[in-house]
Amino acid sequence: QQQVKQSPQSLIVQKGGISIINCAYENTAFDYFPWYQQFPGKGPALLIAIRPDVSEKKEGRFTISFNKSAKQFSLHIMDSQPGDSATYFCAAYKAAGNKLTFGGGTRVLVKP
Amino acid sequence: NAGVMQNPRHLVRRRGQEARLRCSPMKGHSHVYWYRQLPEEGLKFMVYLQKENIIDESGMPKERFSAEFPKEGPSILRIQQVVRGDSAAYFCASSPEGFPRYEQYFGPGTRLTVT
């Protein structure tokens, strides 16, 4: 069963625009919600993560917004750059069992 | 500090052959995870291992797949009698002791093609 649903599957944004990726989860027992970034031919790399008792976390141009009651969270990439073109995965982490569950991924293309 | 290493990077096997994928975790990391990524899909958890122990193999197919992380040497994901549906990218990740473990360090992956 898919516990983390991610949308959209792909996204095209102009340089300088805002990229928004949304995720929804089903299980309320998750402890952290990280985002991973993957470039073609590479493995994913941790980008930013948020705890469920925090509503927003910002690191540079990347912001996670978290809505616990709706069981949704999103990644905003401000001032998107061509170098941000990658596939982004949201994930949910459960400390008991030490398991990461990934969303299906969003391919972001930033046009110059 | 070298990152997670996986080899081979590309592997071609005929149906019915065995595929053996290797993963060397980052130095000092004792937790290893294997994931499978099908084209245009996300990463699916397969197995979580610590040295000489399988902690969670709930994502592993019941047949033909096995994994180990011996006391010495790399972690091995073994697929016996491969079928076309096994074609995918297989990623290994590692994490150190301590909290939080949601930060997993991924290798570059092994792309398996079954012909």
Residues 31-60 of B with CB under 8 A from A: 31, 33, 35, 40-45, 48, 55-56
Mean pLDDT of chain B: 93
Closest CA to B114 of B17, B18, B13, B16: B13
The DSSP code sequence of A3-34 is: -EEEE-SEEEEETTS-EEEEEEE--TT--BEE
Mean pLDDT of chain A: 93
Shortest CA distance from A102: residue in chain B: B43
Question: What was the pLDDT predicted at B63?
Answer: 94
Contact of A89 with chain B, judged by CB distance below 8 Å, is answered with: yes
Contact of A74 with chain B, judged by CB distance below 8 Å, is answered with: no
Question: What was the pLDDT predicted at B101?
Answer: 79
Rounded CA separation B34/B48 (Å): 7
Question: What was the pLDDT predicted at B110?
Answer: 97
Shortest CA distance from A100: residue in chain B: B102
Q: Which two tokens stand for residue B32?
A: 């290893």
Is the predicted pLDDT of residue B72 greater than 70, yes or no?
A: yes
Is the predicted pLDDT of residue A66 greater than 60, yes or no?
A: yes
Preceding peptide of B8 cis, ω within 30°: yes
Contact criterion met (CB < 8 Å) for A49 and B102: yes
Across the range A72-82, mean pLDDT stands at: 97
- Number of Cα atoms under 13 Å in the Cβ half of residue B98: 4
Percent of chain A with pLDDT over 70: 98
Is the predicted pLDDT of residue A1 greater than 80, yes or no?
A: no
Percent of chain B with pLDDT over 70: 97
Across the range A76-102, mean pLDDT stands at: 93
Question: What was the pLDDT predicted at A45?
Answer: 94
Preceding peptide of A52 cis, ω within 30°: no
A45 interaction partners in chain B (CB closer than 8 Å): 105-106
Across the range B87-102, mean pLDDT stands at: 87
B44 interaction partners in chain A (CB closer than 8 Å): 102
pLDDT, greater one: B101 or A94: A94
Shortest CA distance from A50: residue in chain B: B102
Question: What was the pLDDT predicted at B100?
Answer: 67
pLDDT tens digits, one per residue of B11-34: 999 999 999 999 999 998 989 999
Question: What was the pLDDT predicted at B96?
Answer: 87
Preceding peptide of B70 cis, ω within 30°: no
Question: What was the pLDDT predicted at B102?
Answer: 85
Question: What was the pLDDT predicted at A2?
Answer: 60
Is the predicted pLDDT of residue A64 greater than 90, yes or no?
A: yes
